[in-house]
Amino acid sequence: MRENEDQNIIKTSPGDNVGIVSSNDFNIPFGQKVALCGIKEDERIIRYGETIGRAKISFVEGDWVKASDISMPESPDLQSIPLPDARPQDAATLEGYTFQGYRNKDGSVGTRNILGVAASVQCVAPVVDYAVKKIRHELLPRFPNVDDVTALTHTYGCGVAIDAPGAKIPIRTIRNIISNPNFGGEVMVVGLGCEKLPPDQILSSAPAYSGGEKGAGYYASLSLQDKSFRGFEEMVRGILVLAEAQLEILNKRERVSCPASDLVVGIQCGGSDAFSGITANPVAGFAADLIVNAGGSVLFSEVTEVRDAIHLLVPRTIGPEVGQALLDEMRWFDEYLLQGGADRSANTSPGNKEGGLSNIVEKALGSVVKSGTSPIVDVLGPGERIRKKGLTFAATPASDFVCGTLQLAAGMNMHVFTTGRGTPYGLSQVPVIKVGSNSELAGRWFDLIDLDAGQVALGDKSIEEMGWELFRMILDIAGGKKVACDRFGLYNDLVLFNPGPLT
């Protein structure tokens, strides 16, 4: 992969006129861009074989090409991107790979056996958190087949325009989260009693709702304002009574051999750097192709981090309807940003730039490679549940926490998270495999990164070798092996995407 071993410069594509510095011994900082030839003012800056901007000044070979010296191009025109002709979905070809999972009544498979305790409104979140701690310490030891209990709390449910068009996104997100395969149908919802989104409104439309039939997976609910509760301890006792009944059911479940086609893997990146697009993300993309070829499902997301590479994705959709749905999600988010007085340039963080990413165009070109090369079979709106096997684009903001929450609602049972700068991000509801883009990070954060994809940049391993390694790691962790953030209990809060108005 290296353009010049002596200078430790990585060239991504043959037509690039900038490379990435991969050594701290070079006179340009690690991860930053260097001119591979003379570049005149206003000439294109090319990386990944694509234009990431134009030079504001002239460069000679060996110059540091700083982010401040590159002007950002316009986004691809959504109107000018042709829709693909319909074509059949590629057939699954990879057979014989399995993991030990929990098969649910609806046919979905969990990688964990977790009791979820959901809040219908943010007001009750502290009570839910308190009760979950008591359940974990007082009840859970009696139920060894249950992996954990988790609080599904959020900042929605009241003080909102509940019937506004934008409200459908957070509401369906909550409904679909409680139906995630890792909860096995045993979720309780704790409400307050006066909120705009009461428990029965959440449960009545939940996809896996079984009408409260015990033994077949059921949802239970209570409201803290119920007049039968006298004082805080009785409220908590009421939650524990419901929890115990559900733990009894969950404890009867056992792991069984499941084909890799039962995987639903959400792939996301955060704290990206210049190496993300040449190591961690293509490794994740290779593993994504293996999962799809095995008949499984993969979700990729983050609208602002695909928007500037959308011209590369539309041709991969399986037909004009899916292609148009992808363009529609881009257009909706363009308008959403415009209403907020922002544009896609707000995405790139100071850390991204310090890590060598000049702008959102360069970031997007490196981000989309984690989707692999498989055809895109479907497009989900924010908070919608997965409908098809194969590669699906689940439209979400790029915020780590919001994206993870929406992929959880979409039904992922495994999560792959790539990072170059480093982040302790994790979720308690689903295993999160952390893939580091460079070996410096993986060595420094040796106990927080699960896989060092920086070995690709060093030339020690190929993308294919590391992609297989990640695929096998996914199967192992889906079968119960813990990830780094599990060992330390590093879990982020769920964060709903709410484009609707507050009242």
Cβ proximity of 420 and 274 under 8 Å: yes
What are the domain boundaries of the chain? Answer: 2-71, 101-250, 264-488
Give the number of C-alpha atoms closer than 13 A to the C-alpha of residue 301, restricted to the C-beta side.
36
Report the SS3 class of residue 377.
strand
Could you tell me which of 370, 152, 100, 375 has the C-alpha nearest to residue 262? 100
Domain spanning 2-71: CATH 2.30.130.110 = yes
The least confident of 113-117, 121-125, 353-357, 437-441 is 353-357
| Region label for 96, one of left (φ > 0), alpha (ψ between -120 and 50) or beta (otherwise) | left
Quote the Cα angle for 279-285-290, to 5°: 130
Identity of the residue numbered 79:
Q
Quote the Cα angle for 208-264-206, to 5°: 15
pLDDT at 213 over 50: no
Report the SS3 class of residue 157.
coil
Each residue's pLDDT tens digit, 408-422:
999 999 999 999 999
Q: Which helix (H) or strand (E) holds 253?
A: none
Could you tell me which of 439, 451, 370 has the C-alpha nearest to residue 403? 370
**What are the Cα distances from residue 476, in Å, to 407, 483, 486?**
21, 10, 15
- In angstroms, rounded to a whole number, what is the distance separating the alpha carbons of residues 270 and 420? 8
Work out the average pLDDT over 335-339.
Answer: 92
Highest mean pLDDT among 197-201, 242-246, 346-350: 242-246
pLDDT at 203 over 90: no
Work out the average pLDDT over 100-117.
Answer: 96
Tell me what percent of the residues of the chain surpass a pLDDT of 90.
87
Give 413's contacts (C-beta < 8 A, 6+ positions apart): 101, 108, 109, 110, 111, 112, 180, 181, 182, 262, 263, 264, 265, 430, 478
pTM: 0.94
Each residue's pLDDT tens digit, 150-187:
999 999 999 999 999 999 999 999 999 999 999 998 88
* DSSP codes joined into one string, 270-331: -S--TTTTTTHHHHHHHHHHHHHHTT-EEEE--GGGTGGGHHHHGGGBSSHHHHHHHHHHHH
Report the SS3 class of residue 172.
helix
How many Cβ atoms sit within 10 Å of the Cβ of residue 186? 24
Cβ proximity of 287 and 369 under 8 Å: no
Q: What is the 3-state secondary structure (H, E, C) of 67-134?
A: HHHEECCCCCCHHHCCCCCCCCCCCCCCCCCEEEEEECCCCCEECCCEEEEEECCHHHHHHHHHHHHH
For the sheet with 98-103, list strands across it.
109-110, 98-103, 256-259
Q: Which two tokens stand for residue 189?
A: 């919802």
- In angstroms, rounded to a whole number, what is the distance separating the alpha carbons of residues 55 and 69? 6
**Torsional sign, CA 420, 423, 424, 428:** negative
Identity of the residue numbered 265:
V
Band of residue 347 on the pLDDT scale cut at 50, 70, 90: confident
pLDDT score for 345: 83
Could you tell me which of 421, 428, 328 has the C-alpha nearest to residue 382? 328
Tell me what percent of the residues of the chain surpass a pLDDT of 70.
96
Residue listed under structure tokens 């704790």: 190
CATH topology for 101-250 is Rossmann fold (3.40.50)
Cβ proximity of 69 and 28 under 8 Å: no
Fold identical between 2-71 and 101-250?
A: no
Band of residue 344 on the pLDDT scale cut at 50, 70, 90: confident
Band of residue 112 on the pLDDT scale cut at 50, 70, 90: very high
Each residue's pLDDT tens digit, 457-474:
999 999 999 999 999 999
pLDDT at 215 over 50: no
Each residue's pLDDT tens digit, 286-300:
999 999 999 999 999
Could you tell me which of 336, 341, 357, 345 has the C-alpha nearest to residue 271? 357
Identity of the residue numbered 323:
G
Residue listed under structure tokens 């954990």: 148
